[in-house]
C-alpha cells in the first residue's frame, strides 16, 4: 500500500506538471488511466486556475465519472460548480449516476438547482426532481433510478439483449429486476442466472419470485442494515403501490453506515466531529452550546459540594477522593452509554428488549462496582491505615458505578422513546450527570461513617 501511495504521489506531480505546461495528450492519457477515486483526489488538490485548465482538457462526461466519488456535502461544492461553465456543470451532473447528482443538488441553493435542471434534457430533469422530492434520510432519498428492469414475458436471451442495451447507463448490472405490465416488481435475476440458463427459458421459470425490497419511506439506516444483513449488492425500492422506482447499491449503504457511525461518535463526544473549520471562532461556536449547558449542570455539582462544606471541614480527607469517585463513575457511565446506543441501533429480531438491556447494565454495574469498590477499599485502607475510610470510599465507588451504568443505559432509551437520536445523550452529558450523582452518593455514605473513620 505504501509503495502504491508513493507511486501515486509521483504520478500526481507529473500530472500537475503536464497540466501546467499544456501537454494535453500526455495529461489525458495519464489521468484517464487512473481510478476515478484517485482522479477525484487529484482534482481536489488543485487550485482554482488549475481546475479551470482541467475543464478545458476534459469533457463533462469525464469529469462526471470522478465526481461520482466525491462527497456530496463537500463545503466547497457550490464554488466548484460555479467555476464551470453553467452548461458544462449541468452536463456533468447529468452524466453522473442519478442518486449522486441528486445528493449534490440537494446541498445547493434552489436557484442553482433550477438553473442546472433547466439545462438538462426533460426526462433527465424529471428523474432528478423525483429523487429530490424524497426526504434525504429515507430509501427514496438515497436510491438511484439507474437500474436494469425487464418484462416478465421475455425469455433469457431477450433479457440478455436488453441488459446489453441498458448496461452502460446502469449503476450495477449484477441484478436484473423483473416487472409486469404495470411495473410491479415480480422477481429478480442475477447475471449468473442469465448466463447459466438456456436462452429460450422463460424468465418466470428462472427468476427468484420472493424479492426482498425497501419502501421509499424506510429510514436509510434500516435499509443499510438490511443490505448488510442479506449481503446484497443492491436492494430494490418500491413505492406505495409496490411499483419498482429505484435501487440502493452497496456503496450507498456503506456511506450511510459510515455517516451513522460518525453521527453516533459526534453525539458521544458532544461535538460535530465532521465539522473541521480552521476558523477557531466558528469551531468554538459549534462547541459552546453543549459546554455552556454542561457548565450549569456542573454548577449543580459545585453547589452540592458546598452544601457539604461542614462535613469536609470536619473530615478534610474526603476531598482527596472526590475526583477518584466522580471520574471512575463517569467512565463507567460513558461505557454503558456506548453499549446502549450500539444495542439500540440493532434492528429486527436481534434488537434486545429494553427491560433485559436495563437489567443487564444494572447487573454489569453491580459486578464492576463491587469489584472496583473492594479494590479501592483495600488500597485506601492500607494507604491511610483506616479500614472505615476505605470502606466508605469503596461503598461510594460501588454505588456510584451502579447508578452511572443505569443512567448510561436509561437516558438513550428515554431519548429514543421521545423521538430523539439516542446518540445525542453524549458522553460529556453522562459524565457531568455522573459527577452530580456520585458526589451525592459519596457524601451521603460519608455522613453515616464519619464517626467511625475519624476515631
pLDDT in tens, 243-257: 999 999 998 888 887
- Give me the helices (H) in 322-353, please: 322-344
CATH number at residue 242: 3.10.580.10
Pick the last residue of a domain from 223, 258, 293. 258
Regarding whether 308 and 377 lie in a shared domain, the answer is yes
CA distance 177 to 184: 10
In a domain, 409, yes or no: yes
Cα distance between residue 191 and residue 187, in whole Å: 14
423 neighbors 429 (Cβ within 8 angstroms): no
At 405, is the secondary structure helix, strand, or coil?
A: helix
Summarised one tens digit per residue, pLDDT across range 336-382 is 877 777 676 654 444 556 677 778 888 888 999 999 999 999 999 89
Query: Using 50, 70 and 90 to split pLDDT, how confident is the model at 332?
Result: confident
Of 21-35, 206-220, 440-454, give the lowest mean pLDDT range.
440-454
Task: Note whether 408 and 432 are within 8 A (CB).
Answer: no
Phi, psi of 117 (to 5 degrees): -65, -35
Strands 175-179 and 185-190, by their bridges, are: antiparallel
140 assigned to some structural domain: no
Do residues 249 and 336 share a domain?
Answer: no
Inter-helix orientation angle 110-118/122-133, to 10°: 150
Q: Give the pLDDT band of residue 304 (cuts 50, 70, 90).
A: confident
DSSP symbols for 97-133: -HHHHHHHHTTS-HHHHHHHHHTS-HHHHHHHHHHHH
Pair 121, 46 in one domain: yes
Q: What is the mean pLDDT of residues 21-27?
A: 92
Residue 188 domain boundaries? 149-258
CATH of the domain at 300: 1.10.357.20
Dihedral of CA atoms 263, 294, 397, 404 in degrees, nearest 10, equals -40
Q: How many CB atoms lie within 10 A of CB 413?
A: 18
**Mean pLDDT to the nearest integer, 26-44:** 92
424 and 340 share one domain: yes
Taking phi first (over 0 means left), then psi (-120 to 50 degrees means alpha), and beta for anything else, what does residue 292 get?
alpha
Mean pLDDT for the chain?
85
CA 115/CA 86 separation, integer angstroms: 8
Confidence bin at 60 (pLDDT 50/70/90): very high
Give a yes or no: residue 269 inside a domain.
no
**Distance separating alpha carbons of residues 269 and 294, to the nearest angstrom:** 13
The answer as to whether 375 is a domain residue is yes
Instruction: Point out the least confidently predicted range of 145-149, 268-272, 313-317, 359-363.
Output: 268-272
Q: Which of 160-164, 215-219, 334-338 has the least mean pLDDT?
A: 334-338
179 lies in the same domain as 288: no
Of residues 291 and 332, more confidence is placed in 332
pLDDT of residue 349: 45
CA 167 to chain centre: 30
Let me know if residue 265 belongs to a domain. Answer: no
Threshold 0.75, pTM exceeds: no
Query: In this structure, are 105 and 157 located in the same domain?
Result: no
**Is 138 inside any structural domain?**
no
User: Could you tell me if residue 264 is inside a domain?
Assistant: no
Total count of domains within the chain: 3
Q: Are residues 440 and 309 both part of a single domain?
A: yes
- Shared-domain flag, residues 124 and 162: no
DSSP per residue over 46-92, as a string? S-HHHHHHHHHHS-HHHHHHHHTTS-TT-TTHHHHHHHS-HHHHHHH
Q: Answer yes or no: is pLDDT of 419 > 80.
A: no
Amino acid at each position: 500500500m505504501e509503495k502504491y501511495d508513493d507511486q501515486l504521489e509521483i504520478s500526481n506531480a507529473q500530472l500537475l506538471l503536464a497540466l501546467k505546461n499544456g501537454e494535453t495528450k500526455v495529461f489525458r492519457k495519464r489521468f484517464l488511466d487512473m481510478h476515478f477515486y484517485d482522479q477525484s483526489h487529484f482534482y481536489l488538490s488543485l487550485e482554482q486556475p488549475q481546475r479551470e485548465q482541467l475543464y478545458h482538457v476534459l469533457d463533462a462526461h469525464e469529469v462526471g465519472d470522478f465526481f461520482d466519488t466525491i462527497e456530496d456535502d463537500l463545503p466547497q461544492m457550490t464554488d466548484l460548480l460555479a467555476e464551470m461553465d453553467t452548461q458544462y456543470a449541468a452536463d456533468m451532473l447529468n452524466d453522473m449516476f442519478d442518486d449522486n447528482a441528486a445528493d449534490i443538488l440537494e446541498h445547493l441553493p434552489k436557484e442553482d438547482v433550477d438553473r442546472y435542471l433547466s439545462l438538462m434534457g426533460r426526462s433527465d430533469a424529471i428523474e432528478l426532481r423525483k429523487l429530490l422530492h424524497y426526504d434525504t434520510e429515507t430509501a427514496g432519498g438515497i436510491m438511484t433510478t439507474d437500474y436494469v428492469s425487464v418484462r416478465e414475458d421475455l425469455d433469457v436471451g431477450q433479457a440478455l439483449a436488453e441488459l446489453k442495451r441498458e448496461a452502460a447507463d446502469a449503476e450495477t448490472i449484477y441484478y436484473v429486476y423483473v416487472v409486469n405490465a404495470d411495473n410491479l416488481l415480480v422477481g429478480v435475476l442475477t447475471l449468473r442466472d442469465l448466463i447459466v440458463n438456456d436462452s429460450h427459458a422463460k424468465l418466470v421459470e428462472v427468476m427468484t419470485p420472493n424479492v426482498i425490497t425497501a419502501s421509499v419511506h424506510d429510514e436509510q439506516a434500516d435499509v443499510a442494515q438490511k443490505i448488510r444483513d442479506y449481503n446484497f449488492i443492491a436492494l430494490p425500492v418500491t413505492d406505495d403501490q409496490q411499483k419498482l422506482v429505484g435501487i440502493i447499491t452497496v456503496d450507498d449503504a456503506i456511506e450511510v453506515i459510515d455517516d451513522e457511525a460518525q453521527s453516533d461518535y459526534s453525539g458521544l463526544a458532544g461535538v460535530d466531529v465532521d465539522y473541521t473549520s480552521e476558523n477557531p471562532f466558528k469551531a468554538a461556536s459549534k462547541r459552546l452550546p453543549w459546554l455552556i449547558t454542561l457548565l450549569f449542570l456542573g454548577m449543580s455539582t459545585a453547589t452540592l459540594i458546598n452544601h457539604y462544606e461542614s462535613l469536609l471541614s470536619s473530615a478534610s480527607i474526603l476531598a482527596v477522593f472526590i475526583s477518584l469517585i466522580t471520574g471512575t463513575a463517569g467512565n463507567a457511565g460513558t461505557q454503558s452509554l456506548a453499549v446502549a446506543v450500539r444495542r439500540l441501533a440493532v434492528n429486527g429480531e436481534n434488537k434486545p428488549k429494553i427491560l433485559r438491556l436495563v437489567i443487564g447494565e444494572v447487573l454489569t454495574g453491580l459486578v464492576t462496582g463491587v469489584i472496583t469498590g473492594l479494590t479501592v477499599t483495600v488500597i485506601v485502607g492500607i494507604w491511610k491505615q483506616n479500614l472505615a475510610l476505605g470502606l466508605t470510599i469503596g461503598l461510594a465507588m460501588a454505588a456510584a458505578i451502579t447508578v452511572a451504568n443505569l443512567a448510561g443505559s436509561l437516558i438513550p432509551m428515554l431519548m429514543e422513546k421521545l423521538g430523539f437520536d439516542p446518540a445525542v445523550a453524549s458522553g460529556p452529558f453522562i459524565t457531568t450527570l455522573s459527577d452530580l450523582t456520585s458526589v451525592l452518593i459519596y457524601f451521603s455514605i460519608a455522613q453515616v461513617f464519619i464517626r467511625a473513620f475519624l476515631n
